[in-house]
Amino acid sequence: MAAKLRSLLSPPLLHLLLRTSSSSSSAVLTFQRALHSQMGAVVTLKSEVALKELHEAGLLRSQGLIGGKWMHAHDGRTLPVYNPATGELIINVPFMGEKETELAIDAAWDAFPSWSQKTALERSRFLYKWYELLVAKKEDLARLMTLEQGKPIKEALGEVLYGAGFVQLYAEEAKRVYGDIIPATLPDRRLFVLKQPVGVVGAITPWNFPLAMITRKVAPALASGCTVIVKPAELTPLTALAAAELALQAGIPPGVLNVVMGDAPQIGSALLESTKVRKITFTGSTAVGKKLMAGAAKTVKKVSLELGGNAPCIVFDDADIDVAVRGTLTSKYRNSGQTCVCINRVLVQDGIYDRFAEALKKAVLALQVGNGLDDGVTQGPLINEAAVKKVEAHVQDAVNKGANILTGGKRHSLGSTYYEPTIIGNATEDMLIMREEVFGPVAPLIRFKTEEDAIRIANSTEFGLASYLFTENMSRGWRVAEALEYGMVGFNEGSISTEVAPFGGVKQSGLGREGSKYGIDEYLEMKYICLGNMKV
């Protein structure tokens, strides 16, 4: 460690370290400030190297994609994209609005007839090529994602492969959109059911998974014959643009995939009001999802919504503590707690509470916080200052209502938007953190006595996306899994997302499913054909 630190320091700073190592606290503070300055220079250099490599690879795009052409905003306005780990400006992208969105809708509308009329095998080949390029460029895409979103490079690489998996899956499912022949009620009739693409799709995606949330929507849409306008999050548009560049390289025709970003209300309104757009698919907050659902009603668009969560994790007395801690750690602290399926409430039965809390604390203390580009980092920064303030408010509310901090509970010494991985003990149901998504690296522990108590507490929310339980009693596990009012249940497992299983929630956590063989149905309409006057 000392050798590594020494290699990062300039000779004057190293001399300052030696001179102040046993001196006053003010001298040490002077050194710490100098060290942070020096480390900032190292971080900046790493970012610059990564950006240079991305530019050389042709993946650092700074324009929107409309009809196969890279375009600026018509009025020249731009949107800055920052690195949350350092606060540095990465690049400016177009601040687009209604006009650019209408152009993208027209491009998708014009491209739809020829794309939808291609055979399933033809569309499958395009998707396979896109998949191969995503995998071939996985390291570049992971670096880009870490720069604009902040997650550790290992997690970013995992997301690239996860996101590419959706493209591969739907390259295969494109050839499996089957219809039906229904037994006729009269001898001179034949009854058929066909499945056809919905049409132009507006896809609105979040910042926490800049690639996977796009491919999870775009891949089944393209496989079914739809064309798409993607609006990525304003905070993380660069990964979306890089993925679109690779789609062009894969030969996907102009207008089939378009990307606009900027003025979210204008872009959303244009998508909702256009009669050419036949479907809206959205991942994000429940509040925004409700607005989109209401707006889509005006033109009766098909809607898929993957909305907020408030995932409970139930740890029973008979759980394997190592398995439960590992699963909780994986789900709660992945992406620094910024996922919609993150554990938000940890319900621990009385008999195991103290042992579980101590084991989880030990595991959390081993997490390494830092810039996602650095080796060994497992916790990156939160996305922005607003995210930090929300976490702080939840933690303070819990403390005010009697909770105790087992570890963490404050901003990290690295500054910026880093927050210490945190565990809160003795949480109660009236705390904000038990009722709202914290979207940060904070795990509140609440005690329960009986299975019935656990189910009641777990279900006492308007949300119903993901849930988790840990027990060695299989009968209890199945019973509780069936009683939980959630679209997904992790049973002795904290990592449940996979492209081959249906992803989605119930109650106010959304409509429809993404991923798996079921996901492509969200982009298809059934058509019934009655053939009469058959000679018998």
pLDDT in tens, 147-206: 999 999 999 999 999 999 999 999 999 999 999 999 999 999 999 999 999 999 999 999
Listed in order, the ranges of the chain carrying CATH 3.40.309.10 are 311-498
Over range 444-449, report the average pLDDT. Answer: 98
Over range 380-407, report the average pLDDT. Answer: 97
Q: How buried is 155 (Cβ within 10 angstroms: 0-12 exposed, 13-18 middle, 19+ buried)?
A: buried
How many residues would you count in the chain?
A: 536
List, in order, residues 6 or more apart from 202 with CB less than 8 Å away. 228, 229, 231, 271, 272, 277, 279, 280, 281
State which fold the 311-498 domain adopts: Aldehyde Dehydrogenase; Chain A, domain 2 (3.40.309)
Residue with tokens 């500054």: 415
Listed in order, the ranges of the chain carrying CATH 3.40.605.10 are 64-307+514-524
Structure tokens at 52: 């240079």
Residue 261 phi/psi, 5-degree rounding, is -145, 160
pLDDT at residue 43, rounded to an integer: 52
- Does 71 score more than 50 pLDDT? yes
pLDDT at residue 25, rounded to an integer: 37
- Does 19 score more than 50 pLDDT? no
Q: Is the pTM for the entire model greater than 0.85? A: yes
Catalytic residue IDs = 306, 340
Q: What is the 3-state secondary structure (H, E, C) of 169-215?
A: HHHHHHHHCCCEEECCCCCCCEEEEEEEECCEEEEECCCCCCCHHHH
- Does 6 score more than 70 pLDDT? no
Mean pLDDT of the chain: 92
pLDDT at residue 35, rounded to an integer: 38
Residue with tokens 């042709």: 58
The residue ranking higher by pLDDT, 274 or 42, is 274
In terms of CATH architecture, what is 64-307+514-524? 3-Layer(aba) Sandwich (3.40)
